[in-house]
């Protein structure tokens, strides 16, 4: 088992595309899927346990008694997976609604070889792919992405895409500490990489891969009111990691 895909789930009972998961699990032997039930109040845990019963060798379920948020749910699961699956070479995560597919996650994981330690999907719309996003999400996302790229001082098109893969040792380093933000933890991952390796080296060890397909799914878990909190989170993240970078430079 070479790959571990962590799938955070919060009240996903009606949104989980079961056919997509089952079709992938029936044919793919190189992956373990670890679902994280993040304190759901609906029947998500029951649905996940049913998948586990059907594919006991390929599926694990981590059940968190209370809702911790996406960042901490993924962190807890990553630390657990590093202990439970010592043979796993690559660990990453994917959104539960499969806005992009498990097959595409696996394709992106193939970029992790040689010097490449981190690969992530990017929702860049091109002539030869199929990226379907609601207009308000796209334009709002572009504004936020520009601000994030400016703070990072890195040319990254899409830090927030929920399709990411890490080499095992890099995951171990990036997820050992808690995150400041429940929803902008992806930005913190980029800051942690930058502080560990430097901006120039990141160009040689990271790959941003345009997705072949992305389909926005209704009922986003991110409330619109978070748009106002988001900027404060960015301020705190920038302050924390730039201060850390200054200490490293001394």
Q: Where are the domains of the chain?
A: 3-249
C-alpha Rg value of the chain to the nearest Å: 17
CA distance 64 to 109: 27
Q: What is the pLDDT of residues 198-208, one digit of tens each?
A: 999 999 999 99
- Local confidence band at 143 (pLDDT 50, 70, 90 cut-offs): confident
- Local confidence band at 147 (pLDDT 50, 70, 90 cut-offs): confident
Residues in the chain: 250
Contacts of 173 by beta carbon, 8 Å cutoff, 6+ apart: 192, 196
Average pLDDT estimate for 158-173: 96
In CATH, what class is 3-249?
A: alpha beta
Three-class DSSP category at 31: strand
């Amino acid at each position: 088992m070479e790959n571990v895909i962590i799938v955070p789930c919060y009240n996903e009972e009606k949104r989980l595309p079961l056919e997509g998961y089952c079709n992938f699990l029936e044919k793919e032997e190189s992956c373990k899927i670890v679902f994280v039930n993040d304190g759901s109040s609906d029947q998500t845990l029951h649905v996940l346990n049913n998948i586990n019963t059907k594919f006991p060798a390929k599926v694990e379920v981590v059940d968190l008694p209370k809702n911790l948020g996406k960042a901490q749910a993924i962190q807890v699961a990553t630390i657990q997976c590093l202990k439970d699956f010592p043979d796993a070479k690559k660990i990453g995560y994917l959104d539960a609604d499969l806005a992009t597919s498990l097959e595409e996650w696996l394709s992106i994981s193939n970029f992790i070889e040689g010097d490449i330690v981190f690969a992530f999907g990017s929702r860049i719309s091109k002539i030869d792919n199929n990226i379907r996003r609601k207009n308000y999400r796209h334009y709002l996302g572009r504004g936020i992405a520009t601000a994030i790229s400016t703070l990072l001082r890195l040319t990254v098109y899409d830090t927030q895409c929920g399709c990411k893969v890490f080499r095992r040792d890099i995951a171990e380093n990036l997820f050992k500490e808690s995150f400041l933000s429940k929803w902008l933890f992806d930005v913190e991952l980029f800051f942690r990489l930058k502080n560990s390796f430097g901006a120039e080296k990141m160009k040689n060890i990271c790959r941003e891969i345009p997705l072949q397909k992305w389909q926005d799914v209704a009922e986003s878990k991110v409330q619109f009111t978070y748009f106002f909190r988001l900027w404060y989170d960015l301020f705190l993240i920038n302050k924390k990691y730039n201060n850390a970078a200054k200490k490293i430079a001394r």
